């Protein structure tokens, strides 16, 4: 079929489609159908490559005129429909100016920030200071200083937003760790709360940031037992004395040995469900003994000092604490959901 015949066929289909439009939603559907990346007009543009060079200018002009014609027709009809819909809505609505004004409600902290404050309070009570690092970070402090070499496979675990070759949006609050070591000498006992950014484009409603608390302690003779005791005490203070916890060996490039910490699934009480992927447990944090190379990068003698570190996601803790089964609820601004926690 020639370009001209194809254009004629598209116009006939478009005319039939626009005749069936009854709302602005129909307009959007028609716009995607004909002007979208997989629409017939875009396919015609691709077919230009196969035409002889002397025919392309004229064919390209015809396709552009078709595109403008479709766009203008949709815009005009959309404006008309929106005016009609607004007029219809105003005719149906009634405003009684004698009614008393609506009560103004006081705002409150988001449930994620409430939990973050509680976590900070617990660790401050255990002797940890609070340190903050930049959201826009260098590759060194986010990766290199934490024992990620340039070709390290663990970098593939992070879906990173790079600003340029040397700068990025931090993927964890662990970027604070080497910075604090460089400006302090042991004993160092600190937590670093804040936002982290990762490219997790799973669905149209997925988000790209979350909140994390990094914690670390460096001193003479710090042991793995100290780490287990600290985390066990923290979880009991946050949840309850009878919280069920398990520790599993795991790998992170900035600790050795490393582990992950799981808590009994709140949704099924350990029986297995969709939330815990039918395991009965939910992973809440990664931890371990700080790698000697990380201590060295921070200017600390790894022969004299040892330390532990952990990183935990706040959203996961909120889900556990309040029985929430979808992390996307935190960013949808649904007042019915949020007002439950004020």
Residues comprising the binding site for Mg(2+)?
256
Give the residue numbers of the binding site.
256
Helix (H, G, I), strand (E, B) or coil at 289: strand
What DSSP assignment string belongs to 26-64? HHHHHHHHHHSTTSHHHHHHHHGGGS-TTTHHHHHHHHH
Pairing type for strands 167-169 and 245-250 reads: unpaired
Q: Which helix (H) or strand (E) holds 139?
A: helix 139-142
**CA torsion angle for 14, 19, 24, 26 (degrees, to 10)?**
-60
CA 148 to the chain's CA centroid: 22
C-alpha 228 chain-centroid distance:
29
CA atoms of 259 and 289, how far apart (whole Å): 9
Q: Which of 9, 8, 3, 6 is nearest to 51 (CA)?
A: 3
């Amino acid at each position: 079929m020639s370009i001209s015949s194809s254009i004629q066929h598209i116009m006939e289909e478009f005319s039939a489609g626009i005749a069936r439009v009854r709302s602005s939603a129909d307009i959007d559907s028609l716009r995607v159908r004909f002007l979208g990346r997989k629409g017939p007009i875009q396919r015609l543009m691709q077919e230009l490559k196969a035409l002889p060079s002397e025919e392309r200018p004229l064919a390209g002009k015809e396709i552009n005129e078709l595109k403008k014609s479709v766009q203008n027709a949709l815009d005009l009809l959309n404006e008309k429909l929106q005016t009609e819909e607004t007029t219809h809505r105003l005719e149906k609505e009634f405003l009684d100016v004698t009614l008393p004004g609506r009560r103004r409600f006081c705002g409150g902290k988001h449930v994620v920030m409430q939990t973050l404050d509680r976590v900070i309070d617990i660790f401050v009570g255990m002797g940890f200071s609070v340190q903050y690092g930049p959201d826009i970070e260098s590759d060194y402090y986010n990766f290199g200083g934490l024992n990620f070499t340039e070709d390290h496979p663990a970098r593939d675990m992070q879906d990173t937003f790079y600003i340029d070759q040397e700068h990025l949006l931090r993927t964890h609050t662990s970027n604070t760790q080497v910075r604090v070591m460089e400006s302090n000498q042991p004993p160092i006992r600190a937590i670093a709360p804040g936002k982290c950014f990762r490219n997790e484009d799973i669905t149209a409603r997925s988000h790209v940031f979350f909140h994390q608390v990094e914690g670390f302690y460096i001193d003479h003779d710090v042991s793995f037992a100290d780490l287990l005791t600290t985390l066990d005490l923290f979880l009991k203070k946050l949840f309850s004395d009878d919280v069920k916890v398990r520790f599993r060996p795991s790998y992170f490039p900035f600790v050795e040995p490393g582990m992950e910490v799981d808590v009994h699934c709140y949704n099924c009480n350990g029986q297995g469900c969709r939330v815990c992927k039918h395991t009965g447990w939910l992973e809440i944090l990664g931890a371990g003994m700080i790698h000697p190379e990380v201590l060295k990068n921070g200017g600390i003698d790894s022969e004299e000092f040892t330390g532990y570190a952990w990183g935990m996601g706040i959203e996961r803790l909120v889900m556990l604490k309040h029985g929430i089964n979808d992390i996307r609820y935190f960013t949808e601004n649904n007042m019915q959901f949020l007002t439950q926690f004020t």
